[in-house]
Structure 1
């Protein structure tokens, strides 16, 4: 779907073309992934509570706040644009850089799931379990699949768009439908549940932080809903239709996650749930019960395809966003290089180096699960940082730019609804941010103190890098043809200088307005 966007950010040509159902489907596709389901399956029926709670107080606020920001500041940049408008260039660059690093951290966890999926192509479940737990097997597959994804990205948008066309259906929707339908048949067939059932099991046990760290990771499962806020101008009557699409997509997403997690919990005992293997074991057991053991291998192949598509999409997207920031003068010219397909070559090569370093964790840490978990928690902390700044920016912009046109606005008058919605998202984000530094009780991570210190140091290093780069930036870094519209506050600062330099009566300083 193509749109025509003017310099002021107005969208023409496709206005009103996206239906409520279409937008909901876009949101579901952006959010739903299967590799994190085992982490929530450990909580049995109480996982439903976590999914619903996070959807109401986290998922929906993200989507609604992003909708207002995307329609009010629809120029290129996304989070970089929104946060930069509210808190100036340093924080805007910092949030963009953190988002890019978060993807670098996220990719190894997604690829780990892909490696495990490939191991389970082996029809012998015991052999598959042994292979998937081998650290060297995981690191080799992680690097090989990432290399394939990077090569595809170097071919430009045509390359990864072609591959992604059917990948979501093959790698996500069909496997999830098979999992839910198969588990339902498994339960109706008289197989006893491997989890405790009963109303008393619905509410979680809040006895200690260590037991809910994995559950807090559910917020990362909901990450990405803000990506499709850019389409809100293409929806007919966005003030009414967009919230309906959000609630519809949130409901379907929650249902998929809840039934998917419960399917695993019904089939696999909690003590045997492995963060990287449990979903494949569930497929194996269900298909074995159905009398078609080869079905588990087919499911493994489909899940591996889904991982490749996901990784390719995430390799391409944030790298392109960082390229726009580089051209805007926040990174040296060497970071601005592209090939004939428009792919950001330097950024992709640097990203590859980071992925290799992070993949080494699978050999250094005591188990694949431990490496998977620390990267998962680091990715969550970094993404939560981005959301904390997004919620803060939305509130600040209500006061710093109150007259900015907002086609979609939370509340017709006043700022009360924005404070409530963004405030809920901020509080939940802050809570998750804190507890994500606590090692999970369910996984052997070696020394808990070393584990936590490693997380803290990693986060501080990521925070420091963009600030150091920003401090030493040079005016010569700015591209002569930047793919970037100046911030509103930049235009206001430039306008008086232009007017002062212009001859009296020329009117050069007029008409600067909003970006």
Structure 2
């Protein structure tokens, strides 16, 4: 039966979870009024090209079910296809760090336990308890967390974000002053004198993940018309909400006092005290709700991206040892591998680098660095397929003919390369780490990841192991997608254990043979 098409509003709601990212507001607040300009800049030169090119790649015949791996593999080959999906997964492992730092910061503030956030050893122990607690919870299957995620999204992400924005507006109109420079001319002068490429990193991070939603375009009514409209609407809303969120934090918390993982709680507390002091206790409720919201989001992210790696099984790339699932359709061994990576990187950033603003900034830069490798490959694949003589049918084509296709993809590729380069440069807010040391750390990290990726591919491709798995994998049904999960954390592929079905069929065949022989 053909899947029912979704309308423009239905498609927009599938991507709307991208609009709620309160944990990133403190990073925006560091730039004050200029954050609005940076968001507009990132939205136009990066987000739109990613979304448009991904949409066209997703609708090419033969690309419907494999995601990023299939898009890139079918044009650049399986090596680069594997690299694209592998880096897409790896960035999640680093992104967990900033998300859990946010939870720790909220709990530390609510319970007035500064050591939890300031003592590296205690902070890392808390990090591991939260992460591994969510991991073991997820081993029981994603069905256990569906209700949790829906409740946590609305109560712990949407509601606190709305409260922050409302309090920010009330504060602005009642207090009449803010902690950031509101003069446009002086901001432009600051931009001219002090702008550096690394400043744009958190703004790119805010827009990552749209390629996951681009895959749903196959289910969209009138995609050539509705998709660009949905994109422009999403960008406008995202810029508006992120700008208000970042400026709300910047309005009440001076940059010198801003803690990236506690900045939102700091802002809410100050706003309550200055606008409705008799409700000052409300900050503790908001803090707990935000921690709950992030815990729900993490629980949904643990399995989703891992399952995307299973599409590489047809090419026999990942070692067969990792391509196993339990009775709840959970890829247990890959989940534990992911946990090991998270544990090591979080230990380095928290214990060695202190788990402070510097570590938070580095985690954001590492996340963007890894993800941009995937985007560079997406743009490269897109540009190559434009020149293919045999044009395969696709439901969506970037408007503007060849000039529009080349122009948009080239802008996206160039901006991705530039921002990727900037992740190796410490921004102005990172202190206590020498520039050379920072760059060396980032280079070593990236080199190690590339080597691991290449070794994995070489081992897998030299000993191909196609078929014979005890599960099937297919693109998730759009009607079962949880809209409350950020697109890049969703379960893009469903895995179904078929071992029981096989055993049942074998039993039926054996019974038939026995009965036949007895006659």
TM-score range, shorter chain: 0.7 to 0.9
Q: How does 1:259-338 map to 2 (within 5 A)?
A: 259-289=244-274, 290-291=276-277, 292-326=279-313, 328-338=315-325
CA contact (8 A) 1:328 1:483 kept: no
Q: Following superposition of structure 1 onto structure 2, how do residues 398-437 of structure 1 map, counting pairs within 5 Å? A: 398-400=386-388, 402-411=390-399, 414-437=401-424
State whether structure 2 residue 440 is matched by structure 1 residue 450.
no
Task: Report the counterpart of residue 119 of structure 1 in structure 2.
Answer: 108
Mapping of 1:139-150 within 5 angstroms?
A: 139-150=124-135
Deviation (angstroms), 1:327: 5.3
Stretch of structure 1 that moved more, 369-378 or 175-184: 369-378
Residue number in structure 2 paired with 1:512: none
CA contact (8 A) 1:69 1:394 kept: yes
Number of corresponding residues: 467
Find the counterpart in structure 1 of residue 8 from structure 2: 20
Q: 1:158 aligns with which of 138, 143, 166?
A: 143
Q: Is the 8 A contact 1:31 1:224 kept in 2?
A: no
CA drift of 1:202 comes to 4.9
> Which residue of structure 1 aligns with residue 193 of structure 2?
207
The answer to whether 1:99 aligns with 2:88 is yes
Q: Distance between the aligned counterparts of 1:317 and 1:280, measured in 2?
A: 29
**1:109 pairs with one of 95, 98, 121:** 98
> Residue 86 of structure 1 aligns with which residue?
75
Q: In the alignment, which of 232, 243, 259 is matched to residue 228 of structure 2?
A: 243
Greater CA deviation, 67-76 or 433-442? 67-76
Out of 104, 107, 122, the residue aligned to residue 137 of structure 1 is 122
Which of 159, 163, 177 is equivalent to 1:192? 177
Contact 2:28/2:246 (8 A) holds in 1: yes
- Per mean C-alpha deviation after superposition, the further-off stretch among 397-406 and 54-63 is 397-406
Counterpart of 2:175 in 1: which secondary structure? coil
TM-score in terms of structure 1 length: 0.86
Report the secondary structure of 1:309's partner residue.
helix
Unaligned runs of 5+ in 1: 5-11, 486-515
Matches of 1:327 and 1:351 in 2, distance apart? 21
CA RMSD across the alignment: 2.0
Partner Cα distance (1:416, 1:156) in 2: 47
Bigger drift between 187-196 and 379-388 goes to 187-196
Per-residue CA deviations over 1:39-91 (Å, capped at 9, x if unaligned) read 12111111100001111111111111111111114433311111111110111
Q: Indicate yes or no: 2:338 matched with 1:351.
A: yes
Q: Give the drift of 1:28.
A: 2.4
User: Does residue 46 of the first structure (1) align with residue 46 of the second (2)?
Assistant: no
Task: Note if 1:396 corresponds to 2:396.
Answer: no
Q: Give the Å deviation of 1:179.
A: 0.6
The CA deviation string for residues 215-243 of structure 1, in whole angstroms up to 9 with x for no partner, is: 33210111011111122122211110111
Larger CA deviation: 130-139 vs 265-274: 130-139
Alignment deviations for residues 440-460 of structure 1 (CA, whole Å, 9 cap, x no partner): 222224333222111001011
How far apart in 2 are the matches of 1:130 and 1:157? 34
Q: CA deviation at 1:208?
A: 4.6
In the alignment, what sits opposite 2:364?
376
Deviation at 1:96, TM superposition (A): 1.2
Distance 1:45 1:262 in 2: 7
Contact 2:317–2:459, Cα closer than 8 Å, also in 1 = no
Distance across 2 between alignment mates of 1:87 and 1:58: 22
CA distances 1:286-312 after superposition (whole Å, capped 9, x unpaired) = 122212121111111121122112222
Partner Cα distance (1:248, 1:53) in 2:
16
Question: What is the deviation of 1:479?
Answer: 2.9
1:498 maps to: none
- The equivalent residue for 1:64 is 52
Aligned partner of 1:183 in structure 2 is 168
Structure-1 separation of matches of 2:69 and 2:76: 10
Cα distance between partner residues in 2 of 1:250 and 1:20: 15
Deviation for aligned residue 1:214: 3.6
Alignment partners' CA distance in 2, 1:97 and 1:89? 12
- State the Cα distance separating 1:334 from its structure 2 match: 0.6
Cα 1:114–1:136 shift into 2, 3 Å: same
Query: CA–CA distance in 1 between the matches of 2:468 and 2:331?
Result: 17
Question: Displacement of 1:116 after TM fit?
Answer: 0.6
